[in-house]
A and B are shown apart, each in its own frame.
Chain A
Amino acid sequence: MSKQIISTNFDKADAHKLEVYEKLGGYRSLEKVFKMKPEEIIDHVKKSGLRGRGGAGFSAGMKWGFVPKSIDKPKYLCVNADEGEPGTFKDRKILQLDPHSMIEGIITCSYAVGIHTTYIYIRGEYTKPRIRTQAAIDEAYAKGYLGRNILGSGFDLDVIVHRGAGAYICGEETGLIESLEGKKGEPRAKPPYPAVIGVFGCPTVVNNVETLSALPFIMNEGWEAYARLGTEKSTGTMLFSISGSVERPGVYEGEFGVNLWDFIERSTGGVRGGRKLKAVIPGGSSAAILTAEEAGSTNLDYESLAAAGSMVGSGAIMVLGEDDCVVKALRVIARFYAHESCGQCPQCREGTYFISELAERLESGHGDQSDIEKILDTCPMMMGVTVCVLADSIAIPARSYIEKFRHEFDEHVKQKRCPYDSARAPAVA
């Protein structure tokens, strides 16, 4: 069993209730937190090496450190619980099974940065997780973990749950901020970064749910204990959402630095039905695809996956077996990005639709070689030229799918149909 930090309570009955969470050692870190100076906590988190778990993987402590210390404006924490990167379902587990660990992390972050109001932005579809989170907040208020003068520390904090309304782009931190302000979730040009001008024109920290849930361990056990796990630059553990064609899909916590395919196979039992592995998408649908061979020779950490041309992203690992179609996978994710593009940048608005149309044509057997070339020509025009990275998030995978599985695209053109259709089971078992 690999090291568990964030998921330790997932199998404990009723851990979402305060009484049970306390018995499991919950809220113990706050005693230590309130004895430390805010800047000591920021330093502590920096040294732990904790990186943001929403997808970008930026140092959490550094992000907090960018917020101006003395400023006569309120500061805010926005918790990004707008989990929407295809393949990702780990924050839902935290919100529903262990919401107090996130709240404990929220208190630590807020105290360290000098924040007195936190908004938790939860995607609109997550009804049960939202109800659980609100119930946990209510319990925390009643017990004096939130509100005025928390545990006699003199520190005040309010936590408010905000419901999203269906838009992937609100998971982008400035899209989230715009949405929270009551607007369309159109990402902002950066700089200024949210740490300087965020929500309501004030300095703002945006952290993912899982990032905050790692804080109780880091404060209780010390940054050294966290930094000892994983690799030098990818410290600690991460929740990996593994789905697709595997025997036992689910959320599995793993220490960084292990072999990617070993980890997937050990956790899930390998490809469903004993079939052969075709490909692994390691970091959500925005990540470049890896061949079976690459998945077997790459380690699961930020640096190794970057060196392999892909990324850790949100830790969403999707597995394709031998009879899953890569062209179809491209069609599905291209349609996703076309649907979710906010439309403010033309390269993204037009490019996502163009790739989606071409992939649809190819997958249905109506495409020709020039369609494959058109996708490859479009990708570079979409990279690094837009307000946010949504355009890059289809350009990067699209190019990798074609470059690594060109023969499958060629077969669709040659056979004028999807060669995997007949191998496909008619419906679910």
Chain B
Amino acid sequence: MSEQVEERTGEPFAFNEETERKFQETLGKYPTKMAVLLPALWLAQEQNGYLTDAILEYVAERLELSPVHVYAVVEFYTMYHRTPPGRYHIQLCRTLSCTLCRMEGIERHLAAKHGLHPGEKTDDGMFSLELVECLGSCGTAPVMRVNDVYCENLTLEKVDKIIESCKAGTQLEEDPMQPH
């Protein structure tokens, strides 16, 4: 039997001044240090873009938790990145309403025209694509999320425009939410 030992990832890490301020503020909102774990991981990810082993161990130390607890929690949730995502991380919804509204056409188009494949990152580091479960925007299916922005009622043309905007560095805007 061979045992694969993975190398520990990441440079030594510490919260910067801004993150530290937010971290201290967050500590006061919960009666236990453990409850600050999810918020602290979010803060670390905002600062660094993804979570290295060194970051998980730093967060564990700051919250007086065992590293194994922090690792287990991070692996449980889908939104913490353990490797660097693309500058634009795309989450395309694949659940029922989006499927009924032909999300597969969008998936094929992203692959054929833009070279984006699920689970992969483009060579230039610009885009990464992930197929995700229900994004809670079924009334405007098909839907994808580009970083923090919901892109709804997708058509092939709309997808092209979004990709072009990203390449041009233009800030994406969500469509105004409709009353229905």
Write the residues of chain A forming the contact surface with B, with a CB cutoff of 8 angstroms: 7, 10-11, 74, 83-89, 91-93, 96-97, 123-128, 160, 162-168, 179-185, 200, 241-245, 248-252, 281, 285, 316, 318-320, 324, 328-329, 332-333, 335-336, 339-340, 342, 424-429
Q: Closest A-chain residue to B36, C-beta based?
A: A182
Q: Which residue of A lies closest to B135 (CB)?
A: A125
A-B contact pairs, 13 of them (CB 8 A): A96-B177, A166-B77, A167-B76, A182-B34, A182-B35, A183-B34, A245-B100, A285-B96, A318-B96, A324-B100, A336-B133, A336-B134, A428-B105
Which residues of the partner chain B approach A92 to less than 8 Å between Cβ atoms? 136-137
Measured in the bound complex, the distance between the Cα atoms of B101 and A318 in whole Å is 11
Nearest CB of B to A113, in Å: 18
A241→B139 contact, CB < 8 A: yes
Determine if B12 is an interface residue (Cβ-Cβ < 8 Å).
no
Q: Which partner residue on chain B sits nearest A321 by CB separation?
A: B100
- The answer to whether A428 and B102 touch (CB under 8 A), given A167-B78, A182-B35, A252-B180, is yes
Closest to B107 in A: A427
Q: How far is the CA of A124 from the CA of B154 in the complex (A)?
A: 22
Q: When the two chains form the complex, which single residue of A249, A324, A336 contacts B138, counting CB atoms closer than 8 Å? A: A249
Which residue of A has the minimal Cβ distance to B26?
A: A160
Q: Which residues of B contact A97 (CB under 8 A)?
A: 177, 179
Q: Is A244's CB under 8 angstroms from B96's CB?
A: yes
> In this complex, what residue of B is CB-closest to A267?
B180
B134 to A84, Cβ gap below 8 A?
Answer: yes
Shortest distance from the beta carbon of A173 to any chain B beta carbon, whole Å: 17
Residue contact A250 to B180, C-beta cutoff 8 Å: yes
Q: Are B133 and A165 in contact (CB under 8 A)?
A: no
CA distance A165 to B82 in the complex (A): 13
Flag if B95 contacts A336 (CB, 8 Å). Answer: yes
CA distance A180 to B77 in the complex (A): 13
How far apart are the CA atoms of A249 and B178 in the complex, in Å?
11
Give the interface size class of chain B. Answer: 35 or more
Known: A163-B42, A241-B138, A243-B139. A128 touches B150 (CB 8 A): yes
Residue A318 contacts which of B79, B97, B133, B142 (CB distance < 8 angstroms)?
B97
- Asked whether B156 lies within 8 Å of A428 as measured between CB atoms, the reply is yes
Q: A163-B42, A181-B32, A200-B31 are in contact. Are A427 and B109 (CB under 8 A)?
A: yes
| Bound form: Cα–Cα A219–B78 in Å | 40
**In the complex, which residue of chain A has the Cβ closest to the Cβ of B42?**
A163
CA distance A425 to B132 in the complex (A): 23
Whether B121 sits at the interface, judged by CB under 8 Å, is no
- B136 and A83 within 8 A (CB): yes
Taking the closest CB of chain B, its distance from the CB of A112, in whole angstroms, is 22
**Do A123 and B96 touch (CB < 8 A)?**
no
Residues of A within 8 A of B35 (CB): 180-182, 200
CB pair B77 A318 closer than 8 Å: no
* A84 contact set on B, CB distance < 8 A: 133-134, 136
Report how far A163 CA is from B42 CA in the complex, Å: 9
> Are A249 and B34 neighbours in the complex by a CB distance under 8 Å?
no
- Contact yes or no, A168 B133, CB < 8 A: yes
Given known contacts A181-B34, A318-B97, A427-B109, is B137 in contact with A89 (CB within 8 Å)? yes
